[in-house]
């Protein structure tokens, strides 16, 4: 079993839809949770960085962490075709190395 | 400014060549990272430098040789690579290497093809 599970998709939604992206994890020591967006043939871009459980909002993006369920989510409101990309969850805090553990990434397509 | 720059953008090299990838950041970050990413896979950590010293080597073959000349620069020297080493090589940086992993900022990557 992988430490971090993420459905690779692809996920296809119409423009304006609310998108929900999710990851589950098995290591209860993780405390820091990140979402990266990666456009094709580009480097990952940090979207959200959260600590422990709770919600964090930034514009159209909301990150949720539920440590009791070992489940994290990224919501995108009013999705746009420019949101079409691969979304990677990542987490850290287990051990002292600071190593990020990534999910497999979910490919999102927002259709006009 | 959260920019990490990488050169070259593309590189094609033969299995007997020696080449280098370069990474630069001017955010004052003291931790720098090399990742390898294959198509439709997440980035895989290769090396971590903390305060210009090699902190983590994820059992990377010796044909990859990292170097951190100063706090802003990171190089990856390549020699006698194999075709399966073809991938996107990503550099990242964070304020420090800590148990949090820090907020890591990635460069655009170098797309390497080994022929």
Question: CB of A52 within 8 A of CB of A31?
Answer: yes
Q: What is the mean pLDDT of residues B14-29?
A: 94
Q: State the nearest Cα–Cα gap between B43 and chain A, in angstroms.
A: 7
CA–CA dist A93, B66 (Å, integer)? 25
SS3 label, residue A106: strand
Q: Which among A11, A33, A10 is positioned nearest to A79, based on CA atoms? A: A11
Share of chain B above pLDDT 70, in %: 96
* pLDDT recorded at residue A22: 97
pLDDT at position B1 over 70: no
Look at residue B99 in the predicted model and tell me its pLDDT: 62
Q: Which residue out of A31, A45, A47, A100 would a mutagenesis test of the B interface target, given it has the greatest number of B Cβ atoms within 10 Å?
A: A100
Whole-angstrom distance, CA of residue B88 vs CA of residue B42: 11
Rounded distance between C-alpha atoms, residue A59 and residue B82, angstroms = 44
pLDDT, residue A51, reads 85
pLDDT of residue A66: 94
Neighbours of A86 (CB within 10 A): 21
Reduced to 3 states (helix: H, G, I; strand: E, B; else coil), residue B33 is strand
Q: Could A99 and B56 be called an inter-chain contact, meaning their C-beta atoms sit closer than 8 Å?
A: yes
DSSP annotation string for B46-115: EEEEETTEEEEE-S--TTEEEEEEETTEEEEEEES--GGG-EEEEEEEES---TT----EE---EEEEE-
Cβ distance A44 to B103 less than 8 Å, yes or no, reads: no
CA distance A19 to chain B (A): 21
Higher-scoring residue by pLDDT: B97, A84? A84
Radius of gyration of chain A (CA): 14
Say if B109 is an interface residue toward chain A (CB within 8 Å). Answer: yes
Per-residue model confidence as pLDDT tens digits over A72-110: 999 999 999 999 999 999 998 766 677 899 999 999 999
Question: What would the DSSP string read from start to end of A39-85?
Answer: -TTS--EEEEEEESSEEEEETTEEEEEETTTTEEEEEESS--GGG-E
pLDDT above 90 covers a percentage of chain B that reads 85
Over the stretch A40-78, which tens digit does the pLDDT of each residue have? Answer: 989 999 999 998 888 999 999 999 999 999 999 999 999
Residue B98's pLDDT is 75
Indicate the average pLDDT of chain B: 93
Q: How confident is the model at residue B101 (pLDDT cuts 50, 70, 90)?
A: low
The answer to whether residue B25 neighbours chain A at the CB level (below 8 Å) is no
Please, which residues 1-60 of chain A have a Cβ atom closer than 8 Å to chain B? 8, 31-32, 34, 36, 41-46, 49, 51
Instruction: State the pLDDT at residue B36.
Output: 97
Residues in chain B: 115
Q: What is the pLDDT of residue A1?
A: 75
Chain A nearest-CA residue for B102: A98
Q: Which of B4, B90, B103 sits opposite A49 (nearest CB)?
A: B103
A94 close to A30: Cβ distance less than 8 angstroms? yes
Of the listed ranges A95-104, B78-87, B103-112, the one predicted with least confidence:
A95-104
């Amino acid at each position: 079993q992988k430490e971090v599970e993420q459905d690779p998709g692809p996920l296809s939604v119409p423009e304006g839809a609310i998108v929900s992206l999710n990851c589950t994890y098995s290591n209860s020591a993780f405390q820091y949770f990140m979402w990266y967006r990666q456009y094709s043939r580009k480097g990952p871009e940090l979207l959200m960085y959260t600590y422990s459980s709770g919600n964090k909002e930034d514009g159209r993006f909301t990150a949720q962490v539920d440590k009791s369920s070992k489940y994290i989510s990224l919501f995108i409101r009013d999705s746009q075709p420019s949101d079409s990309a691969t979304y990677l969850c990542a987490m850290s805090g287990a051990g002292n190395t600071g190593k990020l553990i990534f999910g497999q990434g979910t490919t999102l397509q927002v259709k006009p | 400014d959260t920019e990490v720059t990488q050169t070259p953008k593309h590189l094609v090299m033969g299995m007997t060549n020696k080449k280098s990838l370069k990474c630069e950041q001017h955010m004052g970050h003291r931790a720098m990272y090399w990742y390898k990413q294959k198509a439709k896979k997440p980035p895989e950590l290769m090396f971590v430098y903390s305060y210009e010293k090699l902190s983590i080597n994820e059992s990377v073959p010796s044909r990859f040789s990292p170097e951190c000349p100063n706090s802003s620069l990171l190089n990856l020297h390549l020699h006698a690579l194999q075709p399966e080493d073809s991938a996107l090589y990503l550099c990242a940086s964070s304020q420090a290497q800590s148990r949090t992993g820090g907020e890591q900022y990635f460069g655009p990557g170098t797309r390497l093809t080994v022929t």
